[in-house]
Amino acid sequence: MRKKIVAGNWKMNKTSEEAKALVSEIANIYQAEISNDVEVILFPPFVFLQDAIQLSQDSKIKIGAQNCHQEKSGAFTGEISAEMLKSIGTNYVILGHSERRAYFGETEELLAKKLKIAFETSLKPIYCCGETLEERKSNRYFEVIENQITNALKDFSATEMKDIVLAYEPVWAIGTGETASPEQAQEVHQFIRNLIEKQFDLKTAQNTSILYGGSVKPSNANELFAQTDIDGGLIGGASLKARDFIEIIKAR
Ligand code: PGA
């Protein structure tokens, strides 16, 4: 059976002290209040990863990075490799986030390389896809998502897919306060699951966790997570407040 996952993408937020306080607060409340079987992952900025790993080590919380470089090592000033992340105990990496695609020109070709290196390094990728407002309005969203999924995953086998999590994040819903309705999200999640079945097989499709992201908050998490093909969420803004994030973890 597939896992329910709630992941917090902190993006470029928090100072060192704030980051440490937030990890500790989430870890403490999680230990005290969460009994359901949810995989919780925090994605702080690179510079706070080591502290986050240390502060969460007695809890079940996992720590992930927001990006990694596509090469193993070398002359890439300012970059961080998958191996470096693994060597400090990072478990996951977000790849294909729409902000990376839009502001840093990340293409599917590049993302396929990043996925490979993450996979080879045993960092579990959360691979994001999602359409822009213009692509939704012009009814091209299925085509866009199909390209994002099939191009990036073309070099993977069904067995390898066990360690890859997918996230549907409509760009028009990220950080805008506007959430996809549960029906809109479910429609795309089901479409993605069918794509995985076509590209791999039914069992792989049934076992792949597909998260929804885009203005998830305590007030809408229940109805989103109740959808058949939504297996949890990738949370931005609401993951920066411990109480909100915990309420989202409790949603089902
Ligand atoms: P948001 O961000 O929850 O602030 O909309 C989600 C994301 O970008 O992962």
Q: Which residues of 136-151 are buried (b: 16+ CB within 10 A; e: fewer)?
A: beeeebeebbbebbee
pLDDT for residue 181 is more than 80: yes
For 201-232, the pLDDT digits (tens) are: 999 999 999 999 999 999 999 999 999 999 99
Residue 215 CA: which ligand 1 atom is closest?
5
- For ligand 1, whether the C-beta of 96 sits within 6 Å is no
Two tokens, residue 66: 């927001």
CA of 94 to the centre of ligand 1 (A): 12
- For ligand 1, whether the C-beta of 9 sits within 6 Å is yes
CA of 177 to the centre of ligand 1 (A): 9
28 vs 23, 56, 92, 128, 231, CA distance in Å? 9, 9, 21, 29, 24
CA of 34 to the centre of ligand 1 (A): 23
43 vs 48, 158, 242, CA distance in Å? 9, 26, 14
Quote the pLDDT of residue 167: 98
For 83-131, the pLDDT digits (tens) are: 999 999 999 999 999 999 999 999 999 999 999 999 999 999 999 999 9
Please confirm, yes or no, whether 169 is among the known catalytic residues: yes
Please confirm, yes or no, whether 97 is among the known catalytic residues: yes
SS (H, E, C) 84-107: HHHHCCCCEEEECCHHHHHHCCCC
Two tokens, residue 3: 């896992």
Two tokens, residue 110: 């590049």
Residue 235 CA: which ligand 1 atom is closest?
3
DSSP character at residue 219: H
